[in-house]
Amino acid sequence: MTRLLERSGLGEETCLPPAHHYIPPYRNMEASRAEVELVIFSAIDDLLAKTSIRVDAIDILIVNCSLFAPIPSFTDMIINRYKMRKDIRNVHLSGMGCSAGLISVGLARNFLQVAPRGAHALVVSTETITPNYYVGKERAMLLPNCLFRIGGAAVLLSTSRAQARFRLARVVRTLTGAHDSAYRCVFQEEDGEGHRGINLSKDLMTVAGDALKANITAIGPLVLPASEQLLFAVSFIARRVLNNRRLKPYLPDFRTAFEHFCIHAGGRAVIDELQRSLGLSDQDVEASRMALHRFGNTSSSSVWYELAYIEAKGRMRKGDRVWMIGFGSGFKCNSAAWECIAPPRPAEGPWEESICRYPVDIPEVLKH
């Protein structure tokens, strides 16, 4: 466990739920609900304060949390807490993995397209880790204990441009679950001693790479400039005509389509692989590495911590384009493309007290 932590890329300020501060950790319903309320109510309170939107102006509520699905649901908890309207459309997504936040964004977009003009959708992304701490000894199932931490985000989407800061340009979802290796590479199961946990397959990075290729193939023609698409087409035709497998396929430069990248902070290996596969610079993946170091793997909300990092650094400009990439069990690779309409005004956020210390150097092995 110690060796895994030393190589994880996580710093010493990440947060575990109170239930995990005990030996052994306790994982009962009361502690699990307490974590949910701490995270999502704090995020929603902050959102309502920043936007000054009334609760009764919210028409759609979507919450995603993969590993904890209590009765009543998360949406019921929120509706009860904030006394929301009786006719609010609400959905609780579970079991969708770390890319569920972008699935929720896509679902909110679909709802808004058929809602009256000016409707509002509240999207809440989190993962509840209290009931999912693995107490066994299987190395592949211990890794989630080292990576996952408390975190959550609340996002408001609308068809009204009033107060809008970003425009959602594209949402592209790819699923490789028809292949058994992809389906089982992130799998909740019990070990030989009956301890339940998440088993991460040794083929995870290969599966993630294949899913990323499928997603790039789908989103590339939608966002890349004509010059990059032409180079890719010429490379593809040359390989087919010459029938020469040694010719490497042309990798489009996605930096011609996006100024900023928010890659799911699933772990150091995930970020390394995407940086290599997409030909990104260290600065392009800085937000992902720093979010992993400061907050850990916060699952589906990690891309929002990364966006907040870019903004806290003052790097976001009007017209800048952002590519969010998420991976999830199943196996899924989902993308969202955004365009900045209005740069952020000074505001409190998750990086308020620590942004002055970042970026930091992250050694290969961190001695605690």
Can you spell out the DSSP letters for 131-145? GG---S--HHHHHHH
Residues 6+ apart with CB under 8 A from 108: 60, 62, 121, 123, 157
Domain final position from 163, 186, 210:
163
Q: How far apart are the C-alpha atoms of 202 and 230, rounded to whole Å?
A: 36
Looking only at the bridges linking them, the beta strands covering 332-340 and 321-328 are antiparallel
| Rounded (10°) angle between helices 29-51 and 74-82 | 50
Q: What is the pLDDT of residues 183-211, one digit of tens each?
A: 999 999 999 999 999 999 999 999 999 99
CATH number for the domain that contains residue 177? 3.40.47.10
Looking only at the bridges linking them, the beta strands covering 321-328 and 260-263 are parallel
Evaluate if residue 367 carries a pLDDT over 60: no
Q: What is the pLDDT of residues 84-119, one digit of tens each?
A: 999 999 999 999 999 999 999 999 999 999 999 999
Q: Structural domain of residue 52, as residue ranges?
A: 2-163
State residue 366's pLDDT score: 63
Evaluate if residue 1 carries a pLDDT over 70: no
39 and 78 in a common domain: yes
Q: Strand, helix or coil at 254? A: helix
321 and 194 in a common domain: yes
In the structure, how many helices (H) and strands (E) does the chain have? 11, 10
72 and 177 in a common domain: no
For 4-118, strand residue ranges (E) read 60-64, 89-93
State residue 347's pLDDT score: 65
Could you report how far apart the first and last alpha carbons of the chain are, in Å? 13
Q: What number of other Cβ atoms are within 10 A of residue 24's Cβ?
A: 8
- Judge whether 356 lies within some domain: no
- Judge whether 349 lies within some domain: no
- Judge whether 359 lies within some domain: no
State the average pLDDT over residues 289-314.
96
- Lowest model confidence (mean pLDDT) among 2-11, 15-24, 145-154, 167-176: 2-11
State residue 5's pLDDT score: 74
Q: How many domains does the chain have?
A: 2
- Judge whether 368 lies within some domain: no
Q: What number of other Cβ atoms are within 10 A of residue 262's Cβ?
A: 26
282 and 159 in a common domain: no
Domain final position from 163, 191, 218:
163
Residues 6+ apart with CB under 8 A from 10: 146, 147, 149, 292, 293, 296, 366
Q: How far apart are the C-alpha atoms of 217 and 200, rounded to whole Å?
A: 26
175 and 59 in a common domain: no
264 near 336, Cβ under 8 Å? no
Q: Which amino acid is at 1?
A: M
For the chain, how are helix, strand and coil distributed in percent, rounded to 5?
40, 20, 40
274 and 261 in a common domain: yes
137 and 179 in a common domain: no
Q: How far apart are the C-alpha atoms of 326 and 280, rounded to whole Å?
A: 16
191 and 151 in a common domain: no
Q: How far apart are the C-alpha atoms of 157 and 286, rounded to whole Å?
A: 26
125 and 227 in a common domain: no
Nearest to 171 by CA among 343, 325, 327: 325
Mean pLDDT of the chain: 92
Q: How far apart are the C-alpha atoms of 105 and 151, rounded to whole Å?
A: 18
Residue 305, Ramachandran bin (φ over 0: left; ψ between -120 and 50: alpha; else beta): alpha
311 and 209 in a common domain: yes
- Judge whether 352 lies within some domain: no
Domain final position from 112, 131, 163:
163
